[in-house]
Amino acid sequence: MEQDKYSVGLDIGTTKIVAIIGKENEYGKIEILGIGRSKSLGVHRGVVNNITQTIQSIQQAVEEAEINSGLKIASVVVGIAGQHIRSLQHSDYITRADAEEVINEDDLDRLCNQVYKLVMLPGEEIIHVLPQEYKVDGQAEIKEPIGMYGGRLEANFHVVVGQVSSIKNVGRCIKSAGLDLGKITLEPLASSDAVLSQEEKEAGVALIDIGGGTTDLAIFKDGIIRHTAVIPFGGGVITEDIKEGCSIIEKQAELLKIKFGSAWPGENKDNEIVSIPGLRGREPKEITLKNLSKIIHARVVEIVEQVYVEIKNYGHEEQKKKLIAGIVLTGGGSQLKHLKQLVEYITGMDTRIGYPNEHLAGDTDEAVASPLYATAVGLLMNAVKNHGKEIGFNKDEEQLEEMAYAEHDKGNMTSDNQRSERKTVFDKWSEKLKDFLDNAE
């Protein structure tokens, strides 16, 4: 099978790197063809801090996915998270040359492209420009302006911004691992694609993805993304606390958390004890489950409260912005016992655990439909969705470059401008990123 037929999502996390290969089946669901995971060693709180190790981990995950599926991976869609991500609201407008013609795709592209020109802080770059709602000639709350008449088209945008150097490092790792970078997507957006239903997005919902190094938040209301945030704490700090609090090594702390951990201390009796083998020649350690839960509880409360502050910042307490569907928890950290109850207790909002099986084909392996893989499945969905566009884009790339150089030589930029006007925002962004990476080397 050629790479044209299938797509790949690559989730570079703080604890694990996952590569998932899949394709769309005839029912529009996603069929998983292969999956590979490896321990992630060079990533800290969602940001690459050791390029060599990250490249090795990516190669390992990709190889495993290739062996699993018998397919070759060329291009991947990758997720980005980390504490350097921030989002802002922005509104912009364009005046159309001819109000007698209906608004079309090109007008929307032109409006989006204009937002990409926003001046950011030094060292920052726009990752996503997400239109929220449009206004045509002052008529507000329009979801789909295509096909309407109007002279002035404006929109409110949710703009996601990240650090250039972090984006560049991710791109560098992908390239050095021998892969092509198809697209970069914000991880909370990917997770929400995989886990949330359309009804929940309409009713209003907060998706909390608790990973190893970061906790990502995405808020939807009326089917539109309203707020995103990345909080630089995750399951890793809980393990860290257990390690410090019980004076044991990290591997043991992680196992303790998974096997016996609970977010609700009242659950355990005082006399429940776990014995942990000591280091060579030392006595085993005895730890009460009540203490373990207390340590976990303290840290989880802190994470959930920070997320709740973000939900309040979005304006959840206003009647119009109320999140009727409450909270969906996903990511590896969401598998902690009694977490759902604790989140409901702190926020007073309905909560469920989100499994990424919403869009997967019926016969998918149980293991893949675990909250652990929410982001990876979302990235794969993203890759499948952008597939058609991408193939054409790769073919034209060289011609485009040649044209651009030819135009430069003539000093006549007009037709080049028209061309770039017609290219989609995504193509432009990819090209910008590619140039960026090439110059960086």
The per-residue pLDDT for 83 is 86
Q: Residue 408 has which token pair?
A: 């430069």
Decide if pLDDT at 19 tops 90.
yes
Domain contains 250: yes
In a domain, 248, yes or no: yes
Residue 288, classed as helix, strand or coil, is: strand
- Whether the pLDDT of residue 65 is over 90: the answer is yes
Kindly report the CATH number assigned to the domain that includes residue 301: 3.30.420.40
Q: Is residue 214 part of a domain?
A: yes
State the average pLDDT over residues 82-92: 91
Tell which wins on pLDDT, 253 or 366: 253
| Percent over 70 (pLDDT), the chain | 88
Residues 6+ apart with CB under 8 A from 63: 36
Q: How far apart are CA 1 and CA 102, in angstroms?
A: 42
Residue 303 inside a domain? The answer is yes
> Is pLDDT above 80 for 412?
no
Residue 401 has pLDDT above 50, yes or no: no
9 domain-assigned = no
Give me the domain span that covers residue 283.
197-354
User: Which two tokens mark 66?
Assistant: 């290739």
393: pLDDT strictly greater than 70 = no
How far is 29 from 25, CA to CA, in rounded Å? 6
Q: Can you tell me the distance from the alpha carbon of 219 to that of 300, in angstroms, rounded to the nearest whole number?
A: 20
Give domain status of residue 379, yes or no: no
CA distance 359 to 368: 12
- Quick check: is 280 in a domain? yes
Number of domains in the chain: 1
Exposure of 236 in the CB half-sphere (CA atoms within 13 A): 19
Position 415 in a domain: no
Q: Is the dihedral of CA 410, 411, 412, 414 positive or negative?
A: positive
